[in-house]
Structure 1
Amino acid sequence: MQNKVATIGLVGFLAVDVALVALALRPSRPDDASPAATTPVTSFTTPGASGATGATGATKTPTTTASSGATGGSAAPTGPKPAPVTELVGALDATTAWRATTGTCGKGGSAMFVTTDGGKTWDKTESPARALIRVQPLTAARVFAIGAGSSCDLKQYASNDLGVTWQAGTAVSGGWARQLDEPTEVLTPQDDRAQPCGASTDVIDLSRTSADQAQALCADGSVMLTEDGGQRWTDDGTVKGGLALGNRLESNRLATYVARVGGDCPGIDLVRVVKGEKLESVACVGTKVPSEAGQVGVSVVSAGAWIVAGDAVYTGNANLTKWKQP
């Protein structure tokens, strides 16, 4: 199988997202349901973080494992039914990452957290919108998010101070995001209402590498690829039971990773997807899977990767074979 050559490199990726933030900084009417945050952040420690001590005072060992990279099949594993991801994670590197709970346009409920110490502690920040669908760090302090108010029209928000304050929402320009009001649709630079999985199949997750290239994980296990900004989508592999999607450029080639449940892994089975080839099991992460659908999120960057599984957070090394709870 021939891997797809990414059309734009990592420098282009950062440039596009920086452009998004620049647009978000322009004056505009604030979202009526999401005023800018001005309250101080609060902090908590990641559940199960290393360094916690038991009755003897000994440091507990994180309960995570990693596979040897054995090749797996494509049969549907057992586990939570695939559903649109509601626990988001967006990483800058191995140290800084953001988590967000999506909430809904009607009921709100979004929440946002940031870590700058590799996930050992998380600061809760004010959410810029009642519902969130994407969070993307640009630098150690700068981040943008895509979300919506009660009308469910997506807007972009920018912060230059780790989410302590947020600029007023503006129209999304050149961005990628799942639509909050219709699970079969995604916002792309070329199509506000693209349907990569078809008119009747939900989009479970969406991950982009450039202004032109992105992939969607579908409820039926299909991975769909676009290389023209979302105008056309093609089949790029299948992962039955796929729960979350992450991708990155490796030697200028697109590498695709999907989190699923099943096989010999008691936790999250992270597999690499190549069209026409058997799934490659890269690592078995953790020992517990959330019982509710949509609570697994993945972010893969050059320095490593992050997986959120309910309340648990796991970080992986650069080649994604070794994982731990911070």
Structure 2
Amino acid sequence: TNILSLLLPQIGNAYFAPLVRGVEAAAREAGFDLLILTAAQAGRRGVNLRQRIAELNSDGMLVFAHSLDRADLEHLHRLHMPMVLLLQPPPDGIAIPCVNLRNRRGARSVMEHLIEVHGYRRIAFLRGPAGNSDSAWREMGYREALAAHGIACDESLVATGGFEQAQAMASVEAWLQAGVRPEAIFAGDDDSAYGAMQAIQRAGLRVPQDIAVVGFDGLDFSQYLAPPLTTVRAPIEEAGFRGSEQLIELIRTGHTTQEILLPTELVVRQSCGCGPQAQQGSACRHSEQGGQL
């Protein structure tokens, strides 16, 4: 049919625009059309997701993290549906190609900046949704950086931001109301970083003078926040493009690279405490093959 399908949990988040651009660009270059299906939309309509996928009649499917559960992935794998997973590892025992980020190294790079450049030691972390692999690797990087600098991890400084502005805001407000005052907050993504900044500013405090904030993903809006957000840029559009290339190769040849790991890049702005002359940090460039490092 020369059609690829892309399954997303929803499309309301700023994260998905560059991802879709990348997927669509690679599909268009190869002569494929793209259909987008959201799990949230199917659920609201009471549509069986497996049935809806079968009705698409596409040549293959790109599946974003948490769009399908393990049972659905196993079902499609048994049907020999060509699939590539975007920003999630395959379930144990199921060989599905995937594209992932070097989340742990990216998290360590921003933590090392906070500790080594600014001298912060009470650094809080806002984790993402439960079961999210990106969040797990970023939290691992957070904890490893603390340990590497001889800083004990204070579990009272770890809360859930859920990769959502509102949830992150609520968590930071709860800290402040309880008298918990970190020197810096490492938010698991840029949306939760924005929520953290709003909570701090609504409490009459300043970013970064009272509490510094850093994020992850490098979404376009992060540069326009007040102050501009220090973050870790993730190559989201490239992830979509490379995943689409993987899927097309799998459709045409029956095989493809099993895992692609993309590097991240520290982007230093002013929310961490650096001045307006802050320059973009060095990219954490590493080999794309191998485990999460």
> TM-score of the superposition, structure 1-length normalised?
0.25
The structure number with the bigger radius of gyration is 2
Q: Which has the higher helix share?
A: 2
> TM-score of the superposition, structure 2-length normalised?
0.27
Q: Which has the higher strand share?
A: 1
